[in-house]
Amino acid sequence: MGGQRLTALLFLAFLFHSPSSAMPGKKTKHHHPCKSLVLYFHDIIYNGKNSKNATAAIVGAPAWANKTILAGQNHFGDLVIFDDPITLDNNLHSKPVGRAQGFYLYDKKEIFTAWLGFSFVLNSTDHKGTINFAGADPLMNKTRDISVIGGTGDFFMTRGIATVMTDAFEGEVYFRLRVDINLYECW
């Protein structure tokens, strides 16, 4: 009898001390994403001359600036809306697997820094659904982490971290971001 009770107690102890047992409000750190993706997106900002190719446009600007050229002081105060193609590799002309849609804003005078709110709207054979992002993007850092705040479809209710890298930057018209998405909550 004592043996069985001990066995049950050990099971119980195992359950409560196991790193995989969940207690809401006291989650343990996990370093293994449940899903990972690497994608690129390409932003061509409207500059007054490229309306055909532009995928983004300045729609808000501070009092001292206008909407056909990024503002001085590291573009502080510029708000840009975009609809950028997403590709699997770093080639602007590769077949898009979806669109990156939303906005970014430049929010620091002394250095390039942005804030992002956008979605990946994916529609390929591999992925159908959206991933929603928000967070600060200190552009001068080689890699920057923003939050995956939710998702739909294949990414239903997901959460995670997206590591953003500037993969190319040409003049003040084109840039390409590489996004390493690591999802730690998958449903």
Q: Is 26 in the site for a second copy (CB under 8 A)?
A: yes
The minimum distance between CB 35 and a second copy, in angstroms, equals 10
* CA distance readout (Å), 94 to 8, 72, 167: 58, 33, 15
Q: Is 76 in the site for a second copy (CB under 8 A)?
A: yes
Residue type at 150? G
Q: Is 24 in the site for a second copy (CB under 8 A)?
A: yes
- How many residues in the chain? 187
What is the CA 37 to chain-centroid distance, rounded? 11
The minimum distance between CB 127 and a second copy, in angstroms, equals 14
The minimum distance between CB 178 and a second copy, in angstroms, equals 17
Residue from the set 36, 50, 53, 66 that interacts with a second copy by CB under 8 A: 66
Q: Is 27 in the site for a second copy (CB under 8 A)?
A: yes
> Considering only residues 129-148, where is the footprint of a second copy by CB under 8 A?
130, 132, 134-136, 138, 145-148
Q: Which of 173, 161, 100 is nearest to 136 (CA)?
A: 161
Q: Is 153 in the site for a second copy (CB under 8 A)?
A: yes
CA–CA distance, 66 with 92 (Å, rounded to integer)? 28
Q: Is 15 in the site for a second copy (CB under 8 A)?
A: yes
Closer of 16 and 126 to a second copy (Cβ): 16
Closer of 89 and 165 to a second copy (Cβ): 165
**Residue located via tokens 């532009």:** 54
The minimum distance between CB 9 and a second copy, in angstroms, equals 8
> Considering only residues 92-131, where is the footprint of a second copy by CB under 8 A?
99, 101-103, 105-109, 113, 115, 117-119, 121, 130
Both structure tokens of 30: 């996990």
* Sheet strands (E) in the chain: 35-44, 56-60, 79-87, 98-106, 114-123, 128-137, 144-153, 159-170, 174-185
CA–CA distance, 79 with 103 (Å, rounded to integer)? 7
Q: Which stretch binds a second copy (CB under 8 A): 36-44, 89-97, 149-157, 165-173?
A: 149-157
